[in-house]
Structure 1
Amino acid sequence: MANDVFDFSPGAQIPIQGSGGQSVATNALASAAYRDSPVDVILDANSDWHKSTVKPGASKLFKSDYFKPNLGEAFSRAVQERMLGGSRAALIQSFGTDPQTVVEHCLSATNLRKARDTRLTLITAVFGLLFLPGMIAWVIAFRIKDALAKSKDAAFRAVGTVLLAAFGIGALILLWKLPTDRFWPLYVRGAIVAPLIGWFFAKRVAETSAQDLRARWDGLLSGTGVIAKIPEAVPKNPNETAREELRQSLEKLSAEQQSNAVFYAGPKGILGMGTRWGSWQLAEQLTPKDPTREIHQFRSWDLIRIIHDQLKMLERGPLNTGGFPKPSVKHWIVSPIGENADSVSRPDGEDVATFQVKPHEIQRICNHQQFGSGDRHYLGVQFTLWDGQLVITMMITVTVLHETLRIEVTGHALGPVHGLFFAKPAARTKTVNKTVRFWETRDIKLPVVEGREVVRLALRAPLTWFPPVLDYLGGKITLPEPFGLRHAWAAKPWNHRFMADDAMRAATPVLRVVHSAAMQVLAENGVDTERFDNRSMILSGLVQDPAPRKADVYDA
C-alpha cells in the first residue's frame, strides 16, 4: 500500500503539542499514562458499544498481583502498541483530540518508568540477586501477609501481621546467634539484612518516581503545560533507524488523523463521530418552472459545492452575539461496515494519497455512487466545542434518482471523555482513632508508595525491557476494536444539559443554510421551487423538536 511506504513529513522534527481548542479532552486521555491507579478501573469507563478488557496474566507459576501492571503502565503499553505498531490495523480518527500528543505522553511516561526501573534493577541485583535466598524468604513472607490481609475476617488479617512479626523476630535471633568466623553464617546474615537495605533504597526511588508521575498527571488536568519528552523520536544521523521509524510512525499517525474516509457501523453511527441522533430529508420532484422548457442540467456536485461555500459562512451573523465558532467543512467518503466489525480497512490505490481520497474521486463518488453498493459522499460541517469535550457533526448528502432530488441532513454528536480520566491524584490517607479521646477519629497521611508497591516495582523492574514477558506474567489491557482514542471512552452528551442544547441548536441553522443553497441552485437551473419551499417550511417546523432520537435504530 502506498500509505505504508510514504514518508509523511519533510524531515526530522520535534513532536509538537496538541492544537488549541481540544486540549482538555487530549490532556485527560494523556493523563492516564501517568496514573498509578489499579488497572481494573479502566473497566468503569466502558460504554455500551466500546468495551476495554483487562486480560490477566497467562502464567500459572507466577500468578501473583506483584506482576500485575497499574493503569498507567498498562495504558501506555496498550496505546503505544496499537497506535505505533509496525503492522497495526487502521485507526479511527479521534475528533476533538490530538492522538499524537496522547501517544507522545505514553512514550514519555514509559521513558520515566524505564529510568526508574534501571535504578531498581541495579538495587535488586546488588541487594537481591546476590542474596537470593533472603530475598525469596522476605517475598514469601510479604506474600503470605498480603494473602491473609485480603480476608474479610479480622482474625485472619491479624494472623498475617503476627506471622510477619514472628518472621522478623526469627531473623533477629539468627543475626544474634550465628557465629561470625565463617563465610556461610556471614552470608546468611547478609541475606537477612541486604533485602531490607535494598527495600529502603528501592522505596526512595519508587517514591521519587511516583511523585514525578503524579505531578505530571495533575499538571495535565490542571492545564499547567506538561511537555512530553521523547528524544528517541528525533534521529540525529541517518544510521539511527529505530528513531527514524518512530518518527515516521508518529507522522503516519497524524496523517491518518487527517484522513477524509470514515466508517458507518449501523446503529453505532459513524465511528469517531458518534451516533446519529436526528435526520431531516427534503425530497421533491424536479419539474421545470417553465413548462415549455426543460430544466438546465446540473449534477449533485454542483449543488454540494454551493452548500459547501455557504456553510463556511456559518460563523457570520446579523447580530454581534458570539454564536458559532469557525466550523470545519469537509468532504467525507463514508464506507459501510458491520455493526460488530472488529477491524476497518482504509481505501487505497491511485485515487488515495496519504490517507486522503483525491478531489476527482470525491467528485465522482458524489455524482455517480448514490444507489447500490459502494462508498458514499457526505459533506460534513463539524464543531469542536468545550475544549474537545463535545464534537457536533452535521452530515449532508445529495442524491438524484430519476426525477426526485433528495437532500438529507443528519446530526451526529460525540460526548465528553469519560469522567474517570478527569480524576486527579488524591493523597493516600487512613482514618484512625485518636490516642486519648479514642471515641474521636483523625485522618493520617500515608506514604505515596506503600511497601507492597515497592516489592511489585522491584520484581517487575528487570523485566521492563521484555514487555511480552510482563504481559504473560501480569496481564494487559485489551483495547476495543475498531480502535480510536476518542470514541472508545466517550460518554453520552445528553446527560449534560448545555452540551445537549448545543447539539440540538446547531441543527436548525445548518438545515436552513442547506435549504437556502439548494433553492438558489434550483432557481438558477430553471426548477420549480414551490414544492421545495413548502417542504422546507415543514422541515423548519420539525427541526424545532427538542428531543434527540436514535435515528440509526429502525423499528422494523
Structure 2
Amino acid sequence: MTTFDFSPGAQVPLTDVGQQTAPTQMLSSAAYRDGSMEELTKLSEGTSQSAGRFSLLEPNLGEAFCRAVQVRMLGGGRKPVIQSFGVDPAAVVRHCLAASRIRRNRDIRLTIVMAVFGLLFLPGTLVWVGAFQLKRTLSRTASRFSSLNSLVIVVVAAAAVLFAVRPPASGLPGLYLRLVLLAPVAGWFVARRLCTATAVELRKRWTAVLDGADAGPSVPEAVPSGPNDTRAERMREELEKLGQEQNSNVVFYRGRDGILGMGSRWGGWVMDEELRPAPGHTDINQFRSWDVVKAIHGALRDLPRGPLHSGGFPRPSVRHWIVVPVNEGAGAVSRPSGPEVDGYSIRDFEVQRICNEQQFDAGSRHYVGVQFVLWEGQFVLTLMCTVTTLHRSLRVEVTGYTLGPVAPSLAGKPSPRTKTVPKSVKFWETKKVTLPLVTTEEVVRLAIRAPLIWIPSLLEWLGGKLTLPEPFGLRHSWVEPPWTHRFMADDALRAAAPVIRAVHAATLKVLEDNNVDVEPFRNRAGSLGGAVQGAAPGKVDHYDAR
C-alpha cells in the first residue's frame, strides 16, 4: 500500500544556497531565455541539437532547455545525475517547471485561438503555414533563392486579397472562400497579443533571476493536493531524490576528465616513506589508515583558523568521499546499492572499511577532501587526500581539482531587438530602430506548436530537441577552464601549500604518537613544502606512456 507523505518540506522551496548564487542564477535564467538552441549547443561539446522534420516547429533555447532538464532530472527511469558543486540543481529545476507553466498557460490560450481561427479555416491555415515553412527553408539556404523568402508571403497575401474581392464561387462557399485566407490573419493578431504578453513576462523573470530579485519560483506541480494526487507526489519524490543525489558522498573518476563534477586533476603531491620504529623503540604501535585520515579531517576543518587576523580561507566543506572509477568516455554511471548504502550515500562503517582495506586492486577508493566554493560559486576548488599503507610504506597523496566558471554568455540579460537601417533623407547615414519583441514568424511558430504540447514526444519528433551531455550534471556540463582567469588561478595555486602542510602536520602527529620514526617523513614534507611554492597547473592525468 502506498503511503502519502504530507511533510511540508517539499512544499516550501529552499532558495538560500549561500555562496552558490551566481551559477545557479545563470543556469536558471536559461529556462526563461528566447533565442536559438545553437546558443546553448556551442557552449558544450556533448550538447547537441536533434533536428526535427519541420524547422518551423523547432523549440527555442528556453523551451528546449526546460524540456531537456525536466526529462533528465525528473523523468521516470532516469539515469544517475552527477553532483553539481557550486550550484543548487533543485532551484534550476524549479525555474524550469515555472517557465514551462508560463508557456503552457500561453499555449492553452493559443490552442483555443487555433481552434477558432485555424481549424475552422483549415485550408487557408495550411496555405499560410506552408508559406512560412518555405520562407524559413529559403532563408536558411546559401543559394540565390534565399533572397526570395519574403516573396512567398507576398504571393499568399495577394491570393488572400484576390479571394476576398473576387471569390471563385458564390453563395455560402463563396463566403467561406472570402474568409479562408483572411481568418488565419485575424487569428494571428490575437495570437500576437498573447505571445507578446508572455514574452514580456518571461523576460522580466529572466532579468529578475540574474539580478537576484527573484525570491524563488513556486512549484504547485510538486505540492500534492491530496492522497490521490499521484502525479504531484511523484514529482515531489523526484525532487527529493535529486537532493539526495546532490548530497551523495560517491563521486566518479573518468580518466582524463578527472572527477565528474569536480573537474580535472591539475596537480599532485606525494609523501611516501618507510614505516620504521623511532629511535629507542623496537616496534611501532599498530594503527590504521583511518586513524591518519581522522587526524587529517580535523586539520582540514581548522584551515580558516590562523595566527593572523586576516581574510584567509572561507569556511570550507570537508567530507569523506568514495571515488568510483569509470571508463574514459563512459556515457553513464551506476550508483552503488546494497545494505551499506543509505539513499545515495555510503554509510560511515563502509567508508571506514574502504579506507582501511580497499587500497589496492579492484574497487572504489576513499578520499578525504576539502572543497572551497569561491567567486559566488563560479569557481570550485577541491583538494583530495588519500592515505595508503602497503607493506612497510605509508603514502599520503594530495591532489588538486578545479571546476571553472559557468559560460559567461549565460549571464547576459535580455536586450531589445534592434536593426540598423539607412535614414530616409540622409541615406548615407544609418540609425537603429527597435523591432517588435515577437516577430511574425515567431507568432506562427508558437501558434502551430501550441496544440501539440499535449503530445511532447510527437512535438520533439516534428520539431527536434536538445540532447544533453552524459553523464549529465548541471554544473560541469557548462563550464569553462578556470586557468584563463588570473585571480581564480592564483586562488588554486595559493591554497595548495597550506592544505598540504596541514595534511603533513596531522600525519606526523599520528606517526609520532605511534612510535614511528618521523624524520624521513619530516624531510619529505619539507621538500614538498618547498616544491609546492612553485606549483603550476598541469594535465596530471595525461600520461606519456603509450
For Structure 1 versus Structure 2, the TM-score category normalised by the shorter chain is: over 0.9
User: Which secondary structure state, in structure 2, belongs to the residue aligned with residue 398 of structure 1?
Assistant: strand
**1:16 corresponds to which residue?**
14
- Segments of structure 2 that go 5 or more residues without pairing to the other structure are none
Report the more deviating stretch, 546-555 or 72-81: 546-555
Greater mean deviation of Cα atoms: 505-514 or 419-428 = 419-428
Matched, 1:478 2:473: no
The answer to whether 1:71 aligns with 2:66 is no
Contact kept, 8 Å, 2:165 with 2:178, in 1: the verdict is no
SS in 2 for 1:183: helix
Aligned mate of 1:55, from 50, 57, 74: 50
The one-letter amino acid of 1:173's match is L
The aligned counterpart of 2:44 is 46
Which residue pairs with 1:551 in the alignment? 540
- Residues 137-536 of structure 1 mapped to structure 2, 5 A cutoff: 137-150=127-140, 156=145, 159-178=148-167, 182-225=171-214, 227-536=216-525
Aligned length: 543
Letter in 2 for 1:34: Y
Correspondence for 1:81: 71
Preserved CA contact (<8 Å) 2:271 2:395: yes
Structure 1 residue aligned with 2:83: 93
3-state SS, counterpart of residue 544 of structure 1: helix
Q: Which runs of 5+ in 1 are unaligned?
A: 58-62
Moved more, 184-193 or 481-490: 184-193
**Secondary structure of the corresponding residue to residue 533 of structure 2:** coil
- Paired position in structure 2 for 1:108: 98
Closer, same or farther: CA 324–200 of 1 in aligned 2, 3 Å:
same
Task: Give SS of 1:393's match.
Answer: strand
- Provide the rounded CA distance (Å) in 2 between the counterparts of 1:86 and 1:421: 29
Residues of 2 paired with 1:11 and 1:395: CA distance?
A: 33
Cα pair 1:14 1:233 within 8 Å, conserved = no
* Whole-Å separation in 2 of the counterparts to 1:289 and 1:9: 58
State the one-letter code of the partner of 1:251.
E
CA distance in 2 between partners of 1:179 and 1:482 (Å): 61
Taking the aligned partners of 1:197 and 1:6, their CA distance within structure 2 comes to 49
Q: Which of these residues, 28, 33, 36, is aligned with residue 35 of structure 1?
A: 33
User: RMSD of the TM alignment (CA)?
Assistant: 1.9
Give me the whole-angstrom Cα distance separating, in 1, the residues matched to 2:340 and 2:147: 71
> Which string of whole-angstrom CA distances, capped at 9 and with x for unpartnered residues, describes residues 440-463 of structure 1?
000000011100011100010000
For 2:273 and 2:162, locate their aligned partners in 1 and report how far apart those are by CA, in whole Å: 96
For residues 360 and 8 of structure 1, the distance between their equivalents in structure 2, rounded to whole angstroms, comes to 32
TM-score of the aligned structures, taking structure 2 as reference length: 0.96
- Give the 3 Å change call, closer, same or farther, for CA 203–505 of structure 1 in structure 2: same
C-alpha displacement at 1:489, in angstroms?
1.0
Contact kept? 1:12, 1:235, Cα under 8 Å: no
CA–CA separation in structure 2 for the residues paired with 1:268 and 1:339: 8
* 2:13–2:218 Cα contact (<8 Å) kept: no
Q: Which moved more, 1:286-295 or 1:240-249?
A: 286-295
Q: Report the alpha carbon displacement of residue 14 of structure 1 after superposing the two structures with TM.
A: 2.4
- Quick check: 1:299–1:367 contact (8 Å CA) kept in 2? yes
Q: Partners of 1:159 and 1:304 in 2: how far apart?
A: 72
* Identity across the alignment (%): 52
SS in 2 for 1:254: helix
Instruction: Determine the C-alpha separation between the residues in 1 that align with 2:129 and 2:258.
Output: 51
146 and 307 in structure 1: CA distance in 2 versus 1, 3 angstrom threshold: closer
**1:307-337 per-position Cα deviation (integer Å, ceiling 9, x unaligned):** 1111111111111111100010000011111
